[in-house]
Amino acid sequence: MRKILAAGAIAAAVASLLGTGTAQAETNPACPSAKQIGSTVYVKNYDETVASVKQYAGCGKNYSYVYVWDSWLSSRGRDFVLTTYIESGGLTYGYKTGSRGQRELWSNAANTIDRCTRAYGEVNGSSYFLFAKTGQRC
């Protein structure tokens, strides 16, 4: 019985570590076949990771995605607003702002598949303004 309890405790500890702070992308509701392009970047507050920002391509469009980490939510709560969009040539496409406390946000579809693009994600709270941009993809 002790071995079963110990194994269960270890499994719970591992699961809690895996679920704390990591960002798990959901399927894009506008284009379920969209795939991530380029690397994930991180919105930071000094050394603390706040959110992940990713760029996706699919259905002939580009999408940006921002996801707030569990660790930020547990320490700061939901007093923030997310914004995300695709940037190309200094212009913004697919711009979208979420509701206060919304944890993840997909941009609107950007008709930029034939251009060099990057994803932008922002976490804007009452006392902070944090953002990150992915590397450019051509």
User: Could you give all domains of the chain from N- to C-terminal order, each with its CATH number?
Assistant: 2-133 (2.60.40)
E strand segments, the chain: 35-45, 48-58, 61-68, 80-88, 91-97, 104-106, 118-125, 128-133
List all residues 6 or more positions away from 13 whose beta carbon is below 8 Å from its beta carbon: none
**Mean pLDDT across the stretch 29-53?**
97
Which pLDDT band holds residue 81 (cuts at 50, 70, 90)? very high
- Mean pLDDT for the chain? 87
Task: Kindly state the percentage of the chain with pLDDT values over 90.
Answer: 80
On the question of pLDDT at 86 being above 60, the answer is yes
